[in-house]
Amino acid sequence: MVHKTANAQLDQLNTLGFTAQASWLVTAEKPEELPEVFDFALSQALPVFPLGGGSNVIFQGNLEAVVLQQKPHALDWSENRVSELLPNEVLLRVPAGYAWQQLVLDTTNKGYFGLENLALIPGQAGAAPIQNIGAYGVELADSLQAVEGYWLPEKGQPAKFDILAAKDCGLGYRDSRFKQDWKGRFVITALQLQLSKQAEPRLNYADLKARLAIKKQQLEAVNQPLPALIAEVVTELRRSKLPDPAKLANAGSFFKNPVISKQQAEELLKLYPDIPHYPATNGCKLAAAWLIDQCGFKGTKRGNVGVHDQQALVLVHTGGGTAKDLLALAEEITSAVKSRFNVQLEREPELVAV
């Protein structure tokens, strides 16, 4: 059954806590109801805006739109075993509305590798391919097999349900075709993930490897699966660095880590030998938090918005502020980094103005 609410407040549906109102808030209990949702939007002459956990959006004001949310459904492990010949592998189908952190806990507690480094990333599963979420050297692309969803009608083509192979989704660093040429054309309804009990853990980050070594004794003491222990350590690390959106409004990492050419990286390293840098497909990736911190923004406050005092990559909203306030601070930071390092920062959260 499709549930509709007119003039719905969205303050509690975005982790930045900005005041916004939607013409309609519609909840679909199952994917088969999506045609009904889009027919309703058409009758209202309004666009549809899919909204998950609201952890990667910036509402600039009221939305003249039908905001769509999908009801979460439990995982059905009995239907997801690949075969009896592969008892340590699983192809797991995850509904779009399922909470990402719960998915990490469910899979790692069963001993499956694949998502443990992605613990405590906010939001719902359906949003994960859009950003190709990643943390601690792992991306969703490493486990994603396919994306299920619904194509909107376009240029004479009828609406239809479809399954897209992950390799066709253009997954890159915090990017995908869902953010580019497929934006506004495809509504994700489920993910298909390939997980394994035999994979090697990804422990490339020194702080993760060091803290895990300290806690390794827990593995034997409580018979805790290694993936669950890694997820626990990642959770502790993220909580030590990032504010809880439920206590201090934020959208997580506000800027992407910039990728620059190897030549530019070499030039910067001559001037700043301590600059954190990592190999990237098209050059060298820099730590945006370090760049922002060097410009003196950590802990900065501008009225009701600011930069977190422990993590310069996180912009926060203390209440009563607006998207305009936050974007002005973001532009100030971007300009300062560009002026000092000649590096262009790019915003992660989507700016929503429908």
Give the amino acid at 300.
T
Closest CA to 295 of 332, 325, 264, 251: 332
CATH code, residues 249-352? 3.90.78.10
What's the CA gap between 58 and 322, in Å, rounded? 9
- 348 is an active site residue: yes
Closest CA to 312 of 287, 335, 336, 331: 287
- Contact by Cβ (8 Å): 139, 132: yes
Give the pairing of strands 350-352 and 57-59. Answer: parallel
Within the chain, all domains assigned CATH 3.90.78.10 are found at 249-352
The first and second tokens of residue 112, run together, are 């499956």
Angle at 242 between CA 128 and CA 136, to 5 degrees: 55
HEC string for 118-155: HCCCCCEHHHHHHHCCEECCEEHHHCEEEEEEEECCEC
Asked if residues 171 and 145 have their Cβ atoms less than 8 Å apart, the reply is no
**d(C-alpha 343, C-alpha 255), whole Å:** 12
DSSP 158-171: PPEEEEEEGGGS--
Model pLDDT, residue 126: 96
Torsion angle of alpha carbons 242, 245, 251, 255, nearest 10°? -10
The answer to whether residues 59 and 22 touch, using CB atoms and an 8 Å cutoff, is no
Segments of the chain assigned to CATH 3.30.43.10: 3-70
Q: Give 351's strand partners.
A: 58
Residue 36 appears among annotated catalytic residues: no
Contacts of 65 (CB under 8 A, 6+ apart): 22, 23, 24, 41, 46, 47, 48, 49, 354
Q: Which of 68, 46, 60, 41 is CA-nearest to residue 127?
A: 68
Q: How far apart are CA 1 and CA 205, in angstroms?
A: 46
Q: Please report how the helices 100-109 and 226-241 are oriented relative to each other, as an axis angle in degrees rounded to 10.
A: 150
Third-level CATH fold of 3-70: 3.30.43
Q: What is the pLDDT of residue 108?
A: 96
Q: In the chain, which residues fall in CATH 3.30.465.10?
A: 77-241
Residues of the chain falling short of pLDDT 50: none
Q: Which fold does the domain 77-241 belong to in CATH?
A: 3.30.465
Q: Of residues 33, 236, 348, 350, which has the active-site annotation?
A: 348
- End-to-end CA distance of the chain: give it in Å, rounded: 26
Which of 143, 174, 177, 232 is flagged as catalytic?
A: 174
Distance (Å, whole) CA 138 – CA 118: 7
CB 136 within 8 A of CB 230: no
β-strand pairing of 21-28 with 48-50: unpaired
Indicate which residue of 23, 143, 176, 253 is catalytic: 253
What's residue 85's pLDDT? 54
pLDDT number for residue 154: 81
Does the annotation mark 239 as catalytic? no
CA–CA separation, 317 and 301 (whole Å): 10
User: What's CA 124's distance to the chain center, in Å?
Assistant: 8
Distances (CA, A) of 98 to 51, 127, 128, 139: 13, 10, 11, 18
Residues 74 and 293: their CA atoms lie apart, in Å, by 42
Q: Which residues of 216-225 are buried (b: 16+ CB within 10 A; e: fewer)?
A: eeeeeeeebb
